[in-house]
Amino acid sequence: MSVFRSKSEILLLEPCDGKLSRTVLRGESARKGADLPAPDLSTIAYNHMTRHSDGYQGAKPDFYVINFDDPEHSHRCNPIHPKFMTDIADAYESAYTIMMNLNRTWIQKQGDFFVESPTILFAAIIWFLRVYKDGRYCTFPHAVEFLNKPYEQIFPIMSSYPELENSLSPFLDAWLAGAADQLMGQIASAKIPLSRMISPTLYWVMSADEFSLDINNPDEPKILCIGNNPDRQAIYGAALGLYNSRIVKIVNKKGKLKSSIIIDELPTIFIKGLDNLIATARSNKVAVLLGFQDFSQLIRDYTDKEAKVIINTVGNLFSGQVVGETAKTLSERFGKILQKRHSISINRQDVSTSISTQMDSLIPPSKISGLTQGMFVGSVADNFGERIEQKIFHCEIVVDAKKIAEEEKTYQKIPVITNFVDDDGMDHMKEMVQENYNRIKEDVKRIVTDELERIANDPALKHLLELNK
């Protein structure tokens, strides 16, 4: 499958050997005709899968879409499903990803008190929902709603669970010491950014389990397209970052199918452990492709240190026209070559010619800055037994626009996934989405009420309620 965009962009690719049989695509499927030609990436992926379904060996993959803007054309998936939350470290990783995506400035302040405090608190809430009734209510919307309950209620509840004692100790110490201002500041640092994600549509998509994120499962392979909306990047980016972080961890295991993770417009989301994925995924037959416009975007959103690790870890690089420091960096990466220089000196008496050799850039920055559409420069890595003599290239991709246009005419739209229309032709999408939103809020109210009643009736725990006095 090939997708060509109107803009030049850098693609960092770390491939695995053999045929790529499963794909994760985080494209721009929710963009309403922004800078992508019709059809969008999700539609291309869907039609590619249906046309070449006979090429899959073993179980054929199912196609899934996550789209927060259009519940009718979106599946529902719980990114913190209890099945894949085996340790409190998983809860911390999920909370960390959410917080860093909601507060990009926090990436530069990792380790600070007011960064770690809300992260640990939200992680404790996620793990509480994981252990409560064996994870029945362990969803992201339930976690957000539980956080927004008064701390006088949630702290006694979570303190009654021994596995949360260490995580909550800093908050309990502040509570017992009467440091109400400090405690409220810690809680507010978590509540304020997460309150932006309180949305009935977002709750709808993230509160059910129509499929799991183990996309390269040999028994249930999947092709998953996750769409973003640049107009709501501040909200959706956090949710998408959570999905991608969970996918990255789940797929990078031994004994799974060959798979590919394609992330377009990488700087729009923050993915924890991306550098580790690139470094280790190849051995697990996972190919990683990252697409963005300029290195400066990556440095801005991933910090200078982490961006350099990502750039230097990737073995394959493809670039269209870029300027400035990015062009200079690429030129330096491509290295230098011994080149001949001719000079001619003319005066009244004679003409002299001299030839010299000098190390010069193989592909100078000026050449990269002046590339036309369709022209690319880059470098590739090879394998044992599959040597590549010419690793640096400067070439043109020839696109058969007529053939692509003819193929697009036969494309089928992604079918309706959830039909909200009844037999009388009435659309009940808003009512059903709102009903789900209200149900989640009622679930959390019931959890709080039941747990407080349990603590009050337990002689060994009822002292926790006295802490509020």
Tens digits of residue pLDDT in 324-335: 899 998 998 888
Tens digits of residue pLDDT in 232-258: 777 787 888 888 888 888 888 888 888
Are 237 and 386 part of one and the same domain? yes
Could you tell me whether strands 259-263 and 286-292 are parallel, antiparallel, or unpaired per DSSP bridges?
parallel
3-state secondary structure of 41: helix
3-state secondary structure of 427: strand
Residue 84 vs residue 229, higher pLDDT: 84
Per-residue confidence band for 467, with pLDDT thresholds at 50, 70 and 90: low
Per-residue pLDDT at 8 exceeds 80: no
Are 68 and 162 part of one and the same domain? no
261 has which bridge partners? 24, 288
What is the domain count for the chain? 2
What the block records as the tokens of 101 is: 């995506």
The pLDDT, as a whole number, for residue 124 is 92
Per-residue confidence band for 275, with pLDDT thresholds at 50, 70 and 90: confident
Mean pLDDT computed over every residue of the chain: 82
Are 260 and 148 part of one and the same domain? no
158 neighbors 447 (Cβ within 8 angstroms): no
Are 165 and 274 part of one and the same domain? no
Tens digits of residue pLDDT in 427-451: 888 999 999 999 999 999 999 999 9
Residue 159 vs residue 174, higher pLDDT: 159
Tens digits of residue pLDDT in 340-392: 777 788 877 777 888 877 787 888 898 899 888 888 999 988 888 888 888 88
**What are the E-state strand segments in 297-439?**
316-319, 336-346, 351-361, 375-379, 392-396
What the block records as the tokens of 94 is: 């999920």
Least confident of 6-15, 36-45, 279-288, 413-422: 6-15
269 neighbors 297 (Cβ within 8 angstroms): no
10 Å CB burial of residue 169 (0-12, 13-18, 19+) is exposed
Per-residue confidence band for 129, with pLDDT thresholds at 50, 70 and 90: very high
Q: Which of 209, 64, 63, 93 is nearest to 141 (CA)?
A: 209
Q: Flag whether 1 is in a domain.
A: no
Per-residue pLDDT at 24 exceeds 70: no
What the block records as the tokens of 170 is: 């800093």
The pLDDT, as a whole number, for residue 26 is 42
Are 183 and 159 part of one and the same domain? yes
Are 252 and 393 part of one and the same domain? yes
Dihedral sign computed on CA atoms, order 285, 286, 289, 295? negative
Q: Which of 288, 234, 232 is nearest to 98 (CA)?
A: 234
Residue 169 vs residue 127, higher pLDDT: 127
Q: Flag whether 153 is in a domain.
A: yes
Dihedral sign computed on CA atoms, order 289, 293, 296, 300? negative
Alpha carbon separation from 458 to 18, 60, 92, 172, 245 (Å, rounded): 60, 52, 30, 20, 39
Q: Flag whether 4 is in a domain.
A: no
Q: Flag whether 360 is in a domain.
A: no
Q: Which domain holds residue 232?
A: 10-77+210-321+371-409
Angle of helix 88-102 relative to helix 113-131, nearest 10 degrees, comes to 130
The pLDDT, as a whole number, for residue 203 is 93
3-state secondary structure of 87: coil
Single-letter code of the amino acid located at 329:
T
Instruction: State the pTM of this model.
Output: 0.81
Are 38 and 178 part of one and the same domain? no
What is the C-alpha separation between 206 and 66, in angstroms, rounded? 9
Q: Flag whether 353 is in a domain.
A: no
Within a 10 A sphere around the Cβ of 420, how many other Cβ atoms? 15
Peptide bond into 118 cis (omega under 30): no
Within a 10 A sphere around the Cβ of 366, how many other Cβ atoms? 11
DSSP 211: S
383 has which bridge partners? 386
Are 61 and 153 part of one and the same domain? no
What is the C-alpha separation between 97 and 63, in angstroms, rounded? 26
Q: Which phi and psi (to 5°) does residue 438 adopt?
A: -65, -35
Residues 6+ positions from 287 with CB-CB distance below 8 Å: 13, 14, 15, 16, 20, 258, 259, 260, 261, 281
Q: Flag whether 97 is in a domain.
A: no
Q: Flag whether 365 is in a domain.
A: no
**What are the E-state strand segments in 136-268?**
222-226, 259-263
69 neighbors 33 (Cβ within 8 angstroms): no
Angle of helix 180-195 relative to helix 140-147, nearest 10 degrees, comes to 140
Q: Which of 254, 253, 281, 91 is nearest to 263 (CA)?
A: 281
DSSP 267: G
Q: Flag whether 307 is in a domain.
A: yes
Are 30 and 69 part of one and the same domain? yes
The pLDDT, as a whole number, for residue 311 is 87
Are 255 and 387 part of one and the same domain? yes
Q: What is the CA radius of gyration of the chain?
A: 27
Are 51 and 143 part of one and the same domain? no
Least confident of 187-196, 198-207, 433-442, 459-468: 459-468
Per-residue confidence band for 12, with pLDDT thresholds at 50, 70 and 90: low
Are 120 and 167 part of one and the same domain? yes
Instruction: Say how far residue 460 (Cα) sits from the centre of its chain.
Output: 44
